Homo-oligomer: A and B are copies of this chain.
Amino acid sequence: VKKESNKVIKVEAKIDGKVYIIKGNASEEHIKAVAEYVDKKIKMITKNRPNLSRSKATVLAALNITDELFRLNREYEELLNLLDEGDSNS
């Protein structure tokens, strides 16, 4: 596993029509992909509900992404548990 550098970089990205300067110690590619993901989620939500306010759409996007995070986390834990069971049988 390649260790990520601790150098903080700044990346400019447009989210929901506004420009944000995002600071992070990840790669520029990673930060841009993260910003693009949030932007797409907000667009997806407002597309289906054009009357929704922008702030509500952003909250819904955050809820949506957190739901994905929790589900993936559960799958990850299940996979780790399977590995543990495998170890104890060997």
Enumerate chain A interface residues (CB-CB to B < 8 A): 1, 15-16, 18, 20, 22, 24, 26, 30, 33-35, 37-38, 41-42, 54-56, 58-63, 65-70, 72-73, 75-76, 78-80, 83
- Quick one: which of A34, A41, A54 has the most chain B CB within 10 A? A34
Residues of chain B with a CB closer than 8 A to A55's CB: 54-55, 58
Task: Report copies per complex.
Answer: 2
Residues of chain B with a CB closer than 8 A to A59's CB: 15-16, 18, 20, 38, 58
Main secondary structure, interface of A, reads helix
- CA of A26 to CA of B20, assembled, Å: 33
Q: Could you tell me if B69 and A69 are in contact, using CB atoms closer than 8 angstroms?
A: yes
